[in-house]
Structure 1
Amino acid sequence: MSTATYALADTKTMLRRNLLHAKRYPSMTLSLIIMPIVMLLLFNYIYGGALESSVGGGEYINYLAPSMMLMIPAYVSVGLAVLVATDMTKGIVNRFRSMSISQSSMLNGQVLGTTIQALIGVVFMTLAALVIGFRPNADVLEWLAAFGLITAVIFALSWLAAAFGLVAQNPESASNLPMPIVMLPFLSLVPASTMPVGVKQFVEYQPFTPIGETIRGLLIGAEIGNNGILALLWIAAIAIGGYFWATSQFRRRIN
């Protein structure tokens, strides 16, 4: 077997470990599903009446739902950072080092496992949005493109979250480092045009705005413009930067 084949087999083993961990401790998975849905209901039914006029007519849920789907990729970054920090501080990594396994598989399994769990959360979020009135007009290819984009966002943020977990001194500090990422999707719940100067420019150029506008365009037919290109560039930058930061920190911690 080649080195790449061994690495792939070890990644599958670490992915299975991550998923079994989620199965044994279902509270995190349930919170990943329940909390974003609670936020969806809160913004739609509590703030929706006041915010509906800001989206230029139509049901606010149609504007809200695509942006809320990005809450889950941001939300899981906290859990993954804590998971990585916990593994690094509890000695499990030293046990893995004594075994004949690919070092890269440790992070690969955690990132892939988190991506799968987050996609489950996005599916439940979408179903909840449809129940309360979300009415997309996307065809099959547009749905696939939207979920492909969301998957890429989850994957990119997962590598960044892994890096946060590796630089944190303990799981408690790891839970705080991704908090700015968690807050950014909230800025795309209303159009940037309604915001004051300074805030408007920040919102327009933060990564979740073009990503949210692209998903919104795919699902409800809003104009995408150059947001699609900007979204892909942001995702690529986050994924590449997060990957190299995480892997370099991991090598430094275990050597």
Structure 2
Amino acid sequence: MSTVAYDGTALLGRQLRRMRNNPGLLILTQTMPISMLLFFGYVFGSALAMPGREYRSFLVPGLLVATAAGGIMTGMFQAAQDTHRGVMDRLRTLPISRSAVPLGQAVADLVVTAAGTVPFLLVGLAVGWRVEGGVLEAVGALGLLLLFRFATTWIGIFLGLLTRNEEAAGQLGGATFLLPLLSSAYIPTDGLPGWLRTAAEWNPISAVATALRDLFGNAPVPTDGAWPVTHPIAGSLAWCLVLTGVFMPLAVRRYAYGER
């Protein structure tokens, strides 16, 4: 265990230096959610039954979760890039723990996400969003958000190791933009057709977005939806546990054994 922690810390530093040396990508990933908040908040908010500040209060938690789901795209691209350029093969020749390499990437992504959440929340406060629940509930919401990001990053790492090609990973990662659209991240699901509403409410993004709105005090929990959104905190934790429990071992095994 100490070997994993030591090697993982070293590889965490590598990932952070890698992100520092690619400031363009870092700036883009941090400013995109803010741009979407301003666009959706003022354009969509004028067309929905939840106008102005009310919609922006609904939107901020949803965008936080949609950004966290972006861990699939960033994890996939970075893992595929390292594999395609032979970095993973070189790391396999070193006397380090096999699980430390993907773990270092996942934790580095978590650190960057936590730092990037701060300016987004400040802009949210500037456009009218408020934390209307308690302090402990708000801290719990942020913890849940980071836990979901950690889970989605493992999905991305596994897919990146599977594709082994950064161009293919970039194209596949772009498709993940559709996931928040089929959820309650941007709009309530109660107006969707029956089958589409069911699919959206079983989307993990909907459960986490509903949990954040509840913990921040921004919107009540629905009483007539699918189980993950009527019990959003339990549903979010269950999704995070399942996603991490499935994709973390798959990613570690894929890294350890390469193409086999």
Task: Assess same fold via TM > 0.5.
Answer: yes
- CA distance in 2 between counterparts of 1:58 and 1:14 reads 43
Matched pairs, number: 250
What residue is the counterpart of 1:29 in the other structure?
Answer: 26
1:234 maps to what in 2? 239
Describe the shift of the 1:180–1:41 C-alpha distance in structure 2 as closer, same or farther (beyond 3 A): same
Gaps of at least 5 residues in structure 1 are none
SS of the aligned residue for 2:169 comes to helix
Matches within 5 A, 1:139-150: 139-150=134-145
Q: Verify the 8 A CA contact 1:77 1:161 in the aligned structure 2.
A: yes
Greater Cα shift, 146-155 or 195-204: 195-204
Asked whether the equivalents of residues 62 and 220 of structure 1 are also in contact (C-alpha less than 8 Å), the reply is no
| RMSD over aligned Cα atoms | 1.8
Q: Determine whether 1:95 maps to 2:86.
A: no
Asked whether the equivalents of residues 53 and 127 of structure 2 are also in contact (C-alpha less than 8 Å), the reply is no
* 1:107 and 2:102 are equivalent in the alignment: yes
- Contact 1:85 1:169 (8 Å CA) reproduced: yes
Q: Secondary structure at the match of 2:70?
A: helix
1:66 counterpart letter in structure 2:
P
Which residue in the other structure is 2:180 paired with?
185
What are the superposed Cα offsets for residues 104-143 of structure 1, whole Å, 9 maximum, x if unpaired? 1111110100111112222221111111111221221011
For each residue in 1:14-45, what CA deviation from the matched residue of structure 2 results, as whole angstroms up to 9, or x when unmatched?
Answer: 00000001111111211111111101111011
Is 1:131 paired with 2:126?
Answer: yes
Is it true that 1:248 corresponds to 2:243 in the alignment?
A: no
- Are the counterparts in 2 of residues 62 and 134 from structure 1 also a CA contact under 8 Å? yes
The aligned runs of 1:42-121 (5 Å cut-off) are 42-51=39-48, 53-54=49-50, 59-121=54-116
Identical residues among aligned pairs (%):
26
Structure 2 CA distance for aligned equivalents of residues 209 and 108 of structure 1? 26
Gaps of 5+ in 2: 222-229
Measured in 2, the distance between the counterparts of 1:103 and 1:200 equals 41
TM-score by length of 2: 0.90
Q: Are the aligned partners of 1:15 and 1:113 in contact in 2 as well (CA < 8 Å)?
A: yes
Residue 69 of structure 1 aligns to a residue whose secondary structure is helix
CA contact (8 A) 1:166 1:250 kept: yes
Determine if contact 1:192/1:200 at 8 Å carries over to the other structure.
Answer: yes
- The answer as to whether partners of 1:137 and 1:219 remain within 8 angstroms in 2 is yes
1:223 matched to 2:228? The reply is no
